[in-house]
Amino acid sequence: FCPTGVLTIRTNMDEVWAALADKDTRVVAQIAPSVRVAAGDAFGLPKGTNAMGKIVAALHRMGFDEVYDTSYSADLTIMEESAEFLDRVANGGKLPLLTSCCPAWVKFVDTQFPEFKENVSTCRSPQGMFSAVIKEYYRDPAHAEGKKTVVVSIMPCTAKKMEANRPNSYTKGEKDTDIVITTTELIRMIKNFGIAFDKIEPEACDMPFGIGSGGGVIFGVTGGVTEAVLRRLAEGHDTATLEAIANCGIRGEEGIKEAVVPYNGIDVKICVASGLANARKVLEQVKSGEKEYHLIEVMACRRGCIMGGGQPIPAGPRSKAARAKGLYDADGSMVIRKPNENPLMDVFYNGYFKGKAHELLHNHE
């Protein structure tokens, strides 16, 4: 308790309970990749356990109508960001391309390095993309069936609450993400509801948006976005190709990592940074001409979203390593590893959402 209120963090759990209690509301959840390897900490599961199936089951018990994995829209992010990157390279666009998944990093560029604002990808974050897609789907009266839709996003940090309120997080004048709760708020809700999380049987996500690739899952750890982009750009999908990408220098918990990857006759220079002190160092080096890159991935939290401020604490060295391993293990056990091989990507681009990618998946200011 902070007597001055300075340290008070507003929770959004009551808004979720209210939406769940309204029978005229369809409540749809999306769960960020990093949440699955941290939520189990609060229920005595071994560190880094992938508890995604249990989280899905718990949300179903609470009354959520549909539960999805944000790795679906992480795949969309890779499709769009890769296309944007190739377009900038081919047509002399602003380089290096800076990733836009982390709202704290985007805010950092806005306020500390405004000269790099045009370098930031126009792609919405996976949270923003997924919410816009869900809301668009249920704008169709044939899908809505007379119900209002509320999107609840379960994320590893409070920066995602700020992102959901940004002016560019609205589509057709409507807020895309209605409510954001952190992993710790999710844990409190599970406990308040009386669910025996350690005993609940895992359940699968719902359809029509319930498939994500392994590339989407590793978004939760530093270097994961870049690895997914490289998978997208690679021709093959055999084990040797995926291992070569994993070992090119972008994995590991160092705060700044570099890699050079040949692609279509150019040596693509990549930097992966986590932690804003490291990001500052990288941008200063680019500004001074000391370093030159084509692509820079930044996550504001050291080691990425697995260590987000909304995740259970304390998380010592054992937790940090276990959470990263948990995501890589989850990726390794998946049938679809490359975002572009997710069958729902074809459904998105050539089916119901055909022609809507720019409107739904990009920031417009």
- Give the bridge partners for 174, in sequence order: 171
In whole angstroms, the minimum distance from the beta carbon of 303 to ligand SF4 comes to 9
Q: What's the closest the beta carbon of residue 245 comes to ligand SF4, in angstroms?
A: 22
d(CA 120, CA 81): 10
Alpha helices in the chain (DSSP H): 13-21, 52-62, 71-91, 103-112, 126-139, 141-144, 159-164, 183-193, 214-217, 224-233, 239-246, 276-288, 317-332, 343-350, 357-361
Q: Which is nearer to ligand SF4, 205 or 301 (CB)?
A: 301
Q: Which amino acid would we find at residue 17?
A: W
Q: Which of residues 102 and 283 has its CB atom nearest to ligand SF4 in the complex?
A: 102
The least CB distance from residue 156 to ligand SF4, in Å, is 4
Q: Which residues bind ligand SF4 (CB under 6 A)?
A: 102, 104, 156-157, 159-160, 299-301, 304-305, 308
Q: At what angle do helices 183-193 and 13-21 cross, to 10 degrees?
A: 50
Q: Which is nearer to ligand SF4, 48 or 308 (CB)?
A: 308
The nearest distance, CB 77 to ligand SF4, in angstroms, is 12
Q: Please state the closest distance from residue 224 (CB atom) to ligand SF4, in A.
A: 11
For residue 275, the number of C-alpha atoms closer than 13 Å in the C-beta half-sphere is: 10
* Helix, strand, or coil (residue 12): coil
Specify the pairing of strand 25-31 against strand 170-171.
Answer: unpaired
Nearer to ligand SF4, 223 or 308 (CB): 308
In the complex, what is the shortest distance from the CB of residue 294 to ligand SF4, in angstroms, rounded to a whole number?
Answer: 22
Residue 8 is classified by DSSP as: -
Structure tokens at 288: 């001074």
- Residue closer to ligand SF4 by CB (options 34, 149) is 34
Q: Which is nearer to ligand SF4, 58 or 159 (CB)?
A: 159
Amino acid at 226: T
Residue facing ligand SF4 at closest CB distance:
308
